[in-house]
Amino acid sequence: MKRLIIYVLFLNLFISLTACKKEMMEYEGREGVYFAVQHGTSTAAANRWPYQPFSDVEFVRIGAPDIELPIKVAITGPTKDYDRTFKVAINQDSTTALPNQHYEPIKEEWIIPKGAISTIIKIKLKRTPDLEITPVTLGLKLIPTDQLSLSFPEWDAIPSLNGGTVVPKFDASLHTLRINDIMVQPAIWRGSIQAGNREGGVFGAFSREKMEFFIANCGVTYEDFSSDATMPIVRSILLSRDAAAILKALFDAKTPILEKDGRLMWVEGVPWTSNIGVPWVRTP
């Protein structure tokens, strides 16, 4: 009896495994490609982020003159023991970026390597002065080949992925890059504008010029100002001291740093006051 029970259990296990194997091998869906780009909030694990039809490229956070942006493309269907090709083109309907100015011409043909379920394509983007004022977009679209079609012309959001903004439906054969270099006052800025438009606090009034001065001279990044964890009050005070010493030295060398309106750049610790809109008058 004991042997019979063991035999029955073994038989059930064998049937179950065989059925699973058969089910896995009988894939009948579309064998194709789709943009598998996920992003979300920093409080959620990356594997919980929802899939997105766009990516924001903010050069002010990147801090480099250009970037090779990686974009994930994945497949549906079984893997193969040979390479397969797919194509990428510019989607003119969603593009305002200019070739050779905002981006370099993209490679048309890409490969899903044998045995792989995804690959990374790279798009080279350029940081140009006009992006400080006007954002641009670069639309990408997947082109089917005789080896790979388009998997999800209509993507439905996966309910279990909710670690950020969820777009309920979109075409996963399309992806849009939203590119800008616009600098806004960060979450942590310990400065103020007081009566008479006089700068006060630790950093004074926010300006792009002042932030770029900090980045170039004081060993900080724009991202450092995103939270109290990376820019606590003590670090803010030390940053102001370092910046004030540099600004004073440049003033004494007769090469002062000015804001756009012509006033001397101000932080706590410099020996001058600063009123917004009142330019500094150079003396002989």
- How far from each other are the two terminal CA atoms of the chain, in whole angstroms? 110
The CATH number fitting domain 32-180, selected from 3.40.1160.10, 1.10.1200.120, 2.60.40.2030, 3.60.21.10? 2.60.40.2030
Q: Is the pLDDT of residue 15 over 70?
A: no
- CA-to-CA dists, residue 162 to 38, 153, 223, angstroms: 11, 21, 24
Q: What integer pLDDT is reported at residue 164 of this predicted model?
A: 85
Question: What is the C-alpha to C-alpha distance for residues 6 and 139, in angstroms, rounded to an integer?
Answer: 60
- Give percent of the chain above pLDDT 90: 82
In the beta sheet, which residues pair with residue 51?
38
- Give the mean model confidence (pLDDT) for residues 37-57: 92
User: Considering the chain, what is the average pLDDT of its residues?
Assistant: 90
Give residue-wise pLDDT tens across range 97-139. Answer: 999 999 999 999 999 999 999 999 999 999 999 999 999 999 9
Residue with tokens 């089917």: 144
Question: CA torsion 176→180→183→185, rounded to 10°?
Answer: -20
| In the chain, domain spans | 32-180, 183-284
